[in-house]
Structure 1
Amino acid sequence: MTTLHSARGRMSSGPTRSAGRAQRILAIGAALLALPYFMLKVVWLSGSRIGIQDPDFGRSAVMHALNGATLGLDLAVLGLATVFYRNARPRSLLVVPPMWIGYGLLGQILLLIVPATLLQPTTSASAGPDAIAGWVYAVVYTGFCGIGLCLLPAFALYARDRWGRDWSRPLKSVAPQPVPAFTTSVAVLVALALAGYGLTRGDLRDGVPWLTDAGLGALAVLALLALSRGMTALPRWSALLVLFAGSGAWVAWGVYGLVLELVPNDLTSGPSSAAPVILNAAKVAGGLALARTIRRHA
Structure 2
Amino acid sequence: MRAKHEPRLLQSAATLDIRTLLARQSGTLLRAQALATGLPRERFDQMVRSRQLVRVLPSVYTNRDPADPAVRLWAAWLWAGESAVIGGGAALFGHGVIDRMPRAITIYVPVARARLKRDPLRLIRTRLDPRDVGWHKGIRFTTPARTCLDLARWGERNDYLEAVLRRNLTSPDALRTCAQRMATVQGYDRAFTAAIAVVTRPWSHPERVLHGVLTDAGVTGWVANDRTQTATGTVFPDIGFPDIKLAIEINGKRYHDEAVDPNAFERDHRREQALVDAGWIVIRFTAKQIERDPMGVLHTILQAVNRLRGVAA
TM-score of the two chains, using structure 2 as the length reference:
0.25
**Could you say which structure has the higher helix fraction?**
1
**Could you say which structure has the higher strand fraction?**
2
